[in-house]
Structure 1
Amino acid sequence: MDTLTEQIRAILDEQAERYETLRRTLLRQGTCLRQGDVVGVGAANAEIREAVKQGSALGIRLAPLLARWRERSPETGDPLRERAGAVRALVLEVEGLRARNEGLAKSAMERIRREMVTLSVGANAVRGYSPRPSDGARFVDRIR
């Protein structure tokens, strides 16, 4: 196998690792969303951003290598097609997890909004039925 194919294979392997990390992090984020763990969701978001950034950098490195590789004859691509297919499958799974987590986050936000409205109504009711604070003691001549 030539150097170009090896370089592409190495980058595809790195991308597969990044997407696998992203998949595991999205699974953890989904668990945190279901449990209402705000700190866990924030930590997962930071990890997701970092993994996406690293994946994008790998994609940028891969683009010119693929352009050179496509100029070659098709028979040199067989070992790479299998790896690229594996990465594609991971990408599709990650997209599905991302969409699921987005739905979980939206439903959690809606639940929190409803709770906030309930709390706000309750707080207004308490204020409305609370006795007014007195202005303090007054002397007969109204001088304090």
Structure 2
Amino acid sequence: MNTKWYLAIITLALTISACKKDSKTPTSVMGKWELQTSVSGWTGRQTYAPGNGNTLEFTNDTYVRTTRYNDTTYQTSGPYLIFEGNYCEQGGKHTVIQFDGDGSLLLDFTFSGSTISMSTPECVFDGGTSVYRNIN
């Protein structure tokens, strides 16, 4: 009987130690993200070096966006909402993000753990995509 208990305890210990989570992968969009790439019809593809200062930070219900240029830094903030929505009449439903709650602009939104991507909907032909990497 003691052998069965030892075997059960060893099996349980091995199972628990095998279930190690990757602590570098966030489970939500909350946290700080830095611009990695942007693609648009006007400027083409741009890649941004780590530490570029163009960030997007999410808390429970607000965001802070910092945009850096050579001579100026802008900061905007407000509420945000992520939901299933449809921006274009002919398009299907997508996960979208709405900044500032005004409903004027919905962006297609993708969260993959270490990056987030925001794109103009498919009915906006010269729109673009921004990809942010997690920097928590």
TM-score, normalization: structure 2? Answer: 0.25
Q: Which has the larger radius of gyration?
A: 1
Higher relative contact order (CA 8 A, sep 6+): 1
TM-score (normalizing by structure 1): 0.24
Indicate the structure with greater helix content: 1
